[in-house]
Amino acid sequence: MGKPVEITINRTRIVIVQGDITEQATDAIVNAANSGLMGGGGVDGAIHRAGGPAILAECKEIVARQGRLPAGKAVITTGGNLKAACVIHTVGPVWRGGMSGEPEILASAWRESLQLADSNGLTSIAFPSISTGVYGYPVVKASAVAMETINTFFRNKATTIQQVVIVLFDTKTYNAYAERIEHSGEERQCDGENTVE
């Protein structure tokens, strides 16, 4: 098990942990959903199983009202039986080699989830690694998009979100994100120090 790694961006703590996202007691957890919002494998199935039928019932209402959720978008439901009060469902891109807008869609999935948490006044949110399971997005590339999107989001605005926890189930994925966050920290420490007098 990797030890938690964290940095702070503009008063918001970003923490990388290895574990089970369904156990997080944050205000919201993010579900890497499919566009039908009907549950499935991986994180999606685990969240629906742990949260119980109330989550699926709200998902069905959303799909009945607005249709399938496009990739890069996000919606919010109850957390049901989870420790988290809410679940933010987002659809990441299927990896097709990187030339079909996948980085932009993945960035949008992260950004829309953060915006939804902020607009609902939430103070903490937990994310899985979006699109790196059956959707096949390479983990190293996905972690770069995630950290860049997080950096941009928190550097450029005031927000209610005080903590973002990225919860990674397996060691390979944890290591990719932990390495990425450490590089993010190094970059920020350099900011302003390399100025020319």
Sort strands 28-32 and 124-127 into parallel, antiparallel or unpaired.
parallel
Instruction: Assess whether 118 carries a catalytic annotation.
Output: no
Catalytic position from the list 20, 27, 44, 191: 44
- Please name which of 77, 71, 63 lies closest in space to residue 109, comparing C-alpha atoms: 71
What are the tens digits of pLDDT across the range 14-29? Answer: 999 999 999 999 999 9
User: Is 55:88 a contact under the CB 8 Å cutoff?
Assistant: no
- Please name which of 9, 4, 28 lies closest in space to residue 146, comparing C-alpha atoms: 9
Note the pTM of the prediction, 2 decimals.
Answer: 0.91
User: Is 10:164 a contact under the CB 8 Å cutoff?
Assistant: no
As a whole number of angstroms, the distance between CA 185 and CA 183 comes to 5
Q: Is the pLDDT of residue 182 over 90?
A: no
Assigned token pair, 91: 């659809």
User: Is 43:31 a contact under the CB 8 Å cutoff?
Assistant: yes
Domain residue spans in the chain?
5-190
Rg (CA), the chain: 16
Class (C level, CATH) for 5-190: alpha beta
Please give the pLDDT value at position 185: 55
User: Is 32:130 a contact under the CB 8 Å cutoff?
Assistant: yes
Please give the pLDDT value at position 157: 85
Q: Is 104 helix (H, G, I), strand (E, B) or coil?
A: helix
What are the tens digits of pLDDT across the range 123-142? Answer: 999 999 999 999 999 999 99
